[in-house]
Amino acid sequence: MGQNKTLILKLSVISLVLLLFSLSFANLENTEKCETNAIPKDGCTVIIVGKDASVDGSVMSTHTCDCGLCDWTWRYVPAADYEDGSKRKIYHINQFRTWHPDVGLKWEKYKDDFTGLEIPQVSHTYSYVHGAFGYMNDQQVALGESTIGCRDKMENPTPTAKFDITMLTLIAMERAKTAREAIKIMGELGEKHGYGYTDTGEMLALSDPNEIWIFEIMPVGPLWTPESGKPGAVWCAQRVPDDHVSVCPNESRIGEINLDNPDYFMASSNVISFAVEQGFYDPDSGEAFNWKKAYSPSEYSAESSQGSRARMWRFFDLVAPSKNFSPGTPNMEFPFSVKPDKKLSVYDVMVMTRDKFEGTPYDPARGLQGGAFSNPNRLPYGFELEGKKFNTSRIIGVNRAEYVTVTQCRDWLPNPIGGLVWLAFGAQDTSCYMPFYIGINKIPRSFEIGDHWSFNRDSARWAFDYVDFHTQVVYSHAIKDVRKTQEEWEKTAVDRTPLIDKYAKQLYEQDPAMASDFLTEYCNNNADLVIDTWWDLGDHLLVRFNHFWDYDAKERKRNALEYPDWWLQLLVKYNKLKSVEENKD
């Protein structure tokens, strides 16, 4: 890529910011069901950071939407007011289903699946942004999602369950002013109208500028009916201490609970009684009730699963290496949360979402699996050979993400400015985080279109897939150019945030609408520039590594790619090659 063009693009963003400021003073995861003791093939990783565990005091959460064939499109939903007596229709929204673009886009087609339920509408709904789930509203209520599964007999695939996890998150975005409110809204709706249908056990990290909670909800079996008078869901929530961090890698995280401490625990009325009724917990055993052991037990560790269940260990080892957690520690024995050895910045969290277990026994790029160019994205699901099954590592930065989010809730700024969603389309190792303030009033059209089966240059996601495809071929070489470009755009955007905050706050104090327009123009123009840069980066990688050579455009030379000695040694061994000297003999 031409350095001059990159510089011009970067200067364009800064110029836009300054111009708008001056003028203003003159706006799935196709997640496999996590059956008891099964190792899921897919799933989403959520990283959780309390406000006193972050460098700047923001509350943070992530969501790697690791599906590989789900809808990746995004929408902005404006705030709205309703007359007394209005109703809100409830739809079944399958988080995994997609439609052909010729038939229609998902966020219009889902309305074909009306559940028949209408609930009273509130007088005012908040604006928010959503992808597969709602991610943040204009009150700075944010979330991240991870499927955790439940016991088989708890699943309720019948349409009697009116709510699935996607619909619950959209309602929460529309109505909740705090994380606690979001939990109560979703919990009560699930209990009253039933939860499940296309979903099993789910975890949501729910945050606001003051705190962050882990909320877990599960169905109560296929025989439930509203007429039974019993809750149609069972749920529990635990608050993460402000100076702690936590993670959910598709495994239930809540253990023993204390409902006498409502500042840290909330739960449905049947949280224990349902477990007793189903035989999941014996109150006469002398053991305290344990949520995850009752409803979603799993006995794996990083070591026993050969790395396919290593995300729990890897996260805690990254954030608290001083505790020296062992890979042999059963995942259910890891603490709910931990105080990190050092506070985390938003950039630290972004880097963590790209982690591929480098330097560990579970590094997927090591040896033969990574190949000559140390590609960590091969064999993501394990394999079968001669009637035997083999696991491979399931890393944090998996290569099948639809998109990845990092949300920031910040209490020192007005809500429209304090709330930030950093969005990266596609696999996080080759994509780029773009900032979106929750005070925006629209998103780029390119975010709203595209699917896996039709190449589309008008779709933002395809720009990042274009780079990703050309990176995989000679990964260890190409990823260097990708990382350099990521740093140019991401680090600059992170460093620029305080300046944007300051300008936007000054505008907000004069006229909130003016601040909204400013933030919208800044975020959308930055995104457009990033997308253009990624298309150019894909072209650059195609030209540079064409035909497995290294074409130096500046010097107009063609250089040979370097292959590691260990790979060449294997080539000699398995192809039974002889050296030139041996052939002379």
- The model's pLDDT over 42-84, given as tens digits with 9 standing for 90+, comes to 689 999 999 999 999 999 999 999 999 999 999 999 999 999 9
Please name the residue ranges forming H helices in 54-203: 106-109, 165-175, 179-193
Residues 6+ apart with CB under 8 A from 565: none
Domain edges within the chain: 28-409, 550-584
Q: What is the pLDDT of residue 10?
A: 46
- Nearest-5° Cα angle at 280, 278 to 285: 120
What is the dihedral sign for C-alpha 525, 527, 528, 532? positive
pTM, 2 dp: 0.92
Length of the chain measured in residues: 585
Q: Enter the tokens of residue 111.
A: 């309305």
> Residue 406 CA to chain centroid, in angstroms?
7
What's the pLDDT score for residue 585?
Answer: 67
The 10 Å Cβ neighbour count of residue 359 is: 8
Q: How far apart are the first and last CA of the chain?
A: 49
Structure tokens at 513: 């609408």
CA distance 479 to 292: 39
Torsion of Cα atoms, 307 then 311 then 317 then 323, to 10°? -90
Helix pair 3-25, 492-510: axis angle to 10 deg: 10
Phi, psi angle pair for 373, to nearest 5°: -115, 30
What is the rounded distance in angstroms from the CA atom of residue 443 to the CA atom of residue 405? 15
Q: Can you give the pLDDT at residue 62?
A: 98
* Dist. CA 87–CA 98, nearest whole Å: 27
d(CA 146, CA 149): 9
Report residues of the chain scoring pLDDT below 50.
Answer: 2-39
For residue 184, the number of C-alpha atoms closer than 13 Å in the C-beta half-sphere is 8
The rounded distance, in Å, linking the Cα atoms of 202 and 262 is 22
Looking at residue 574, its pLDDT comes to: 94
Write the CA distances from 457 to 67, 433, 463, integer angstroms. Answer: 22, 19, 7
Return d(Cα 223, Cα 180) in angstroms, integer: 30
3-state helix, strand, coil in the chain (%, to 5): 35, 20, 45
DSSP per-residue codes, 527-575 = HHHHHHHHHHHHHHHHHHTGGGEEEETTTTEEEEPP--HHHHHHHHHHT
Instruction: Pick the closest to residue 428 from 396, 470, 460 (CA basis).
Output: 396
